[in-house]
Amino acid sequence: MWKRPWFSGLAIVLCLTPFLYLSWRWYQADLGINSIEYVSRFTGKWALRMLLICLAITPLRRIPGLSGLIALRRMTGLFAFFYGTIHMLHYFGFDAQWNWLVISEDLTFRRFFIAGAVALLLMAPLAVTSTNAWVRRLGGKRWQRLHRLIYLSAIAAIIHYLWQGKSINLDPLIYAGILFVLLGLRVVFSIQKRRRASQVTVQPASR
C-alpha cells in the first residue's frame, strides 16, 4: 500500500483537509464572533498536530506492517511548517495589521510570541532542506543532526501554546503529554541502539 501511486496523493489531501475546511468556513462567513481568534487557534493547533504526527511516525514505523509510514515523515513536517506559516501571517495581517511597532514589541517583550517565533524559525531550515538534493549536499549524518531541530521546535510550540492564556488549560497539557511520550520513546530507542552497538563491538577475550 505504501508504494502505490495513490497513497501519497491521499496523504496530501488528508493534510490539506483542515485548510480546506477553514477556507470553506471563511467563504461561508462562519468563523464565529471572534474570527481572528478562531483562525489563529485553528492554524496554530494544526501546526502543532502536524509536528506531533511527524514525530510519531518514527515509533509507529517500528510496528510490523507500518514501516512504510516513513514516506510521510517529510510531508507532515512540511505541512507543520505550512500551517505554522499561515498562523504567523494571520497574526501579522489581521491581529497586528502589519504594524511593525506592535510586531517588534510583541516579539521582543512578550514571551508567548517569542516562543511561537522560535518554533517557526526552527522549522524553517528543516523545510528548506527537506529535499533529497539537500540530503546529498549535507551528507546523511549532518542532515539528520540538523533535522533534530524538530524536537526543539515542538518544545517551543508547546510552550507557546501553554503561555497563550492567563491560566493553564487542559488542551496544551494533553499536547505536552503526547510530546513527552514521543521524546521519551526516542530516548529509549537511542539507549537500546547504543547497547546493541556495544554488544557487537565488545567481544569477549579469547583464551
Q: Is residue 11 part of a domain?
A: yes
Residue 194 resides in a domain: no
Nearest Cα neighbor of 154 from 49, 60, 14, 40 is 49
Contact assessment for residue 92 and residue 52, using Cβ atoms and an 8 Å cutoff: no
- Residue located via cell numbers 501571517: 89
Domain span at residue 46 reads: 5-185
Q: What is the pLDDT tens value at each position of the chain, 207 positions in all?
A: 666 777 888 899 999 999 999 999 999 999 989 999 999 999 999 999 999 999 999 899 888 888 888 888 999 999 999 999 999 999 999 999 999 999 999 999 999 999 999 999 999 999 999 999 999 999 989 999 999 999 999 999 999 999 987 666 789 999 999 999 999 999 998 888 888 877 776 555 444
Instruction: Give domain status of residue 207, yes or no.
Output: no
Grid cell, residue 174, equals: 494533553
Is 163 domain-assigned?
yes
Residue 65 lies in a domain: yes
Q: What is the pTM of this model?
A: 0.90
DSSP 75-89: HHHHHHHHHHHHHHH
Residue owning grid cell 524538530? 150
| Residue 172 domain-assigned (yes or no) | yes
Q: What is the total count of domains within the chain?
A: 1
Q: Is residue 141 part of a domain?
A: yes
What does the radius of gyration of the chain's CA atoms come to, in whole angstroms? 20
CA distance 113 to 150: 18
Please indicate, yes or no, if residue 155 is contained in any of the structural domains: yes
The per-residue DSSP string of the chain comes to: -TTSHHHHHHHHHHHHHHHHHHHHHHHTT-S-S-HHHHHHHHHHHHHHHHHHHHHHHHHHTTSTT-GGGGGGHHHHHHHHHHHHHHHHHHIIIIISTT-HHHHHHHHHH-HHHHHHHHHHHHHHHHHHT-SHHHHHHH-HHHHHHHTTHHHHHHHHHHHHHHTTSSS--HHHHHHHHHHHHHHHHHHHHHHHHHHHHHHHH--PPP-
